[in-house]
Amino acid sequence: MVRKIIALLLGTAVTLAAAGCGSRQNGAADGKVTISVSFNALYELSAAVGGDKVAISVIIPDGTEPHDFEPRARDLAMLKDADIFVVNGLGMEDWADDAVKAAGNTDIRVVDASSGVEAISIEEHEEVQTGVHEGENEAEHEHGAYDPHIWLSPLCAVTMAGNIRDALVHTDPANSAYYDANYKSFTDALETLHAQYAEKLKNADNKSFVTGHAAFAYLCRDFGLVQNSVEDVFAEGEPGAQQLAALVGYCRENHITTIFTEALVSAAVSETLAREVGASVKPIYTMASAENGKSYLDRMEENLSVIYESLK
């Protein structure tokens, strides 16, 4: 059924594109590699490696929760002529395979950015649970068996950028040295940032923090931290009274002074929790959308900084 719907959407999209109403500009006319990506974090990684040799379009609009996204005709039109399609993988884009098939673009190179990343399964998730979130089992069945939030880890981002670099080199070998240099510059910065905060965080007295939804397991693995959350991995399962009481107990026991909130997740419960335990509420970036004109590296550094400050 999903495939039929996407095929119908794509047929509409092709008609729109032919009429000049498509949602992308074809970069091929000026010799650039055309890349479509599913959401903002992948745009950031692709732009860091591709530089001025690529034209990038984003399928999931800013302000849309990627876990809840359903493609529209204009969202899919860009796949028809794209050279490369970058997806996060790990069940993040359950619509992607059918969309690519419906596009009929046999030359498109699909990049699973998660290739080579050691995935964290939902069952062995490295967050501390104060009880099963309501609806969590249903969410696992719907979304997949693995936590998809790999882009929020500096070390995973190195692997993801490498997968994008490899696709660009294969598609545009004449500029391989350019892509290699961009990749090295970007990943050197990521590794420097990781080393800086690994040194700081290893000496933190507290290792636990609380967020709006459980998006930071890979970052926690990088730095030996522990997250708890108001909502589950897929930004679903808002806590009931029993779960909220358990979160209050967790915050008090672990001396939580900050509750982090995200732009695409309701802050209402987080604010209630913070009032109950006397904590402050501060934003943290998930990079699912463009935010405040800041780059991936800017936001990653700010995330690590606010987490570190909350653990002092």
Residue 183, both tokens: 């990749």
Q: Is residue 96 part of a domain?
A: yes
Whether 38 and 136 share a structural domain: yes
DSSP result, 2-60: HHHHHHHHHHHHHHHHHTT--SS--GGGGTPEEEEESSHHHHHHHHHHHGGGEEEEESS
pTM value? 0.86
Whether residue 184 lies inside any domain: the answer is no
Tell me if 146 is assigned to some domain.
yes
Residue 133: the pLDDT is 44
Give the position of tokens 């034209």.
55
Low-confidence ranges of the chain (pLDDT < 50): 1-5, 7-9, 12-27, 126-141
pLDDT at 239: 74
Q: Which domain holds residue 52?
A: 2-114+125-176
**Domain contains 33:** yes
In this prediction, residue 156 carries a pLDDT of 99
Number of domains making up the chain: 2
Do 219 and 295 lie in a common domain?
yes
DSSP assignment of 108-151 equals -EEEETTTT--PPBSTT-SSPPSSPPTTHHHHHHHH-SB---GG
The 10s digit of each residue's pLDDT in 221-234 is 999 999 998 875 55
- 142 with 194, same domain? no
Identify the H or E element spanning 276: helix 268-277
Q: Domain with 247 in it: what CATH number?
A: 3.40.50.1980
The pLDDT assigned to 234 comes to 53
Look up residue 58 and give its two tokens.
């984003």
Task: Please state, in angstroms and rounded to a whole number, the distance separating the CA atoms of residues 168 and 158.
Answer: 15
Residues 137 and 242 in one domain: no
Q: pLDDT tens, 53-94?
A: 999 999 999 988 887 788 888 777 889 999 999 999 999 999
